[in-house]
Amino acid sequence: MPLKSLRILDLSRLLPGPYCSMFFSDFGAEVIKVEEPGLGDYVRWFNPKVDDNSAIFHSLNRNKKSVTLNLKSEKGKELFKQLAKTADIVIESFRPGVMEKLGLDYENLKKINKKLIYCAITGYGQEGPYSQMAGHDINYLSYAGLLGLQGDFKGPPKLSSVQIADIGGGAQMAVIGILIALHARNVTGEGQFVDISMTDGVLSWMQSIFPDYFTNQKFPERGKLRTGGGKACYYIYETSDQRYLSVGALEEKFWKVFCHVIGVPHLIPRLNDDFEGQQKMIEEIGLVIKKKTLPEWISLFEGKDACVSPVLNLDEVLDDPQFQYRQMFIEPELESKTIRHIDVPIRLSSTPGRVKNSAPGIGEHNEEVFLELGYSNEDIAGWKKQGIM
């Protein structure tokens, strides 16, 4: 597998860090979760569970190994440093300053491994007035301004059901940052620090928002953006069976097809009406769409190039022919356990990723990892008794 030469030490918990390291483990990197003895990654204890761990933990931590270390103990720190000497990458998601207090920050670790790439994923970055603030996805979206743009123009901001900042602003930015640092290391021979702020990551998504303001000094309002509920051609309409039809007919060619299919050709010239005109069109189209069921509309649009889709429920997603064809839901038999997974979304023609191992038990690989470093079974047993491991 393409990343099999990489060793990653992942100290992160919950979603952003583990989701990041999952991409590396899916393509063959040796990802070693370094967990707190006893407690481990908090996600382990969520419900529902599969065996002793949560279903989410199994998904995020497939293909990984787990060791336990008490990093507050001197021996635990020493053992982590021995691991860091052998690692290519360290990923952590503590508040800025925590690893420095432990003596395990990038500045200390690069002294023993100059090739080490050290990625810190935090809410607001390593510096700045918010750097020490606690936060979750909702907070990062709020500060970046994205949450304020989501929802109807007459209503309050609306949350997404998926953690946008955690995944898009944090985990995926971290993957990109680490890959860039790896490429740079191939040139310079040295690692570097990768500072990932989830809030910065979300802010960078606003490439279609801020440039307009920079040009005309007018901020868009919630529910009035061209792709945020402000245009009739890009909207969600309710059908007669209380289902929903999504319409993304932004371009004139798609809008023409859409208007002809639903029987409102007189609206074709009004594609770029002002906001008031768009609201009137939304109301008129809404009354038309409400006359038929979702299956009836999907049948009418079959074979028509109009950017129209059904809003699927999750059970329908599981059975959708596109996902079935691409085998995006898999049930690999791993260590005599069959657990359903979302498959690797990045498809490489020559070196594909795959789900080959189930998520590890807490500390499952203590012996394997530390015996390889030259320690003995007696050493490991002693550290466990002392609460170091």
Which are the catalytic amino acids?
136, 166
Q: CA angle, corner 54, sides to 137 and 39, nearest 5?
A: 85
| Residue 309 to residue 2: CA distance in whole angstroms | 36
Distance of CA 164 to the CA centre of its chain: 7
Distances in Å between the alpha carbon of 336 and those of 64, 330, 331, 333, 352? 17, 15, 12, 6, 23
Place of tokens 């080959």: 356
Amino acid code (one letter) for 231? K
| Residue 142 to residue 144: CA distance in whole angstroms | 6
* Residue 66: strand pairing partners: 33
* Residue 234: strand pairing partners: 231, 248
Buried b (16+ CB within 10 A) or exposed e, 126-162: eeeebeeeebebebbbbbbebbebbbeeeeeeeeeee
Nearest to 293 by CA among 241, 251, 359: 241
Q: CA angle, corner 307, sides to 302 and 308, nearest 5?
A: 60
| 231 in Cβ contact with 153 (< 8 Å) | no
| Residue 249 to residue 257: CA distance in whole angstroms | 9
Distance of CA 240 to the CA centre of its chain: 35
| Residue 196 to residue 174: CA distance in whole angstroms | 6
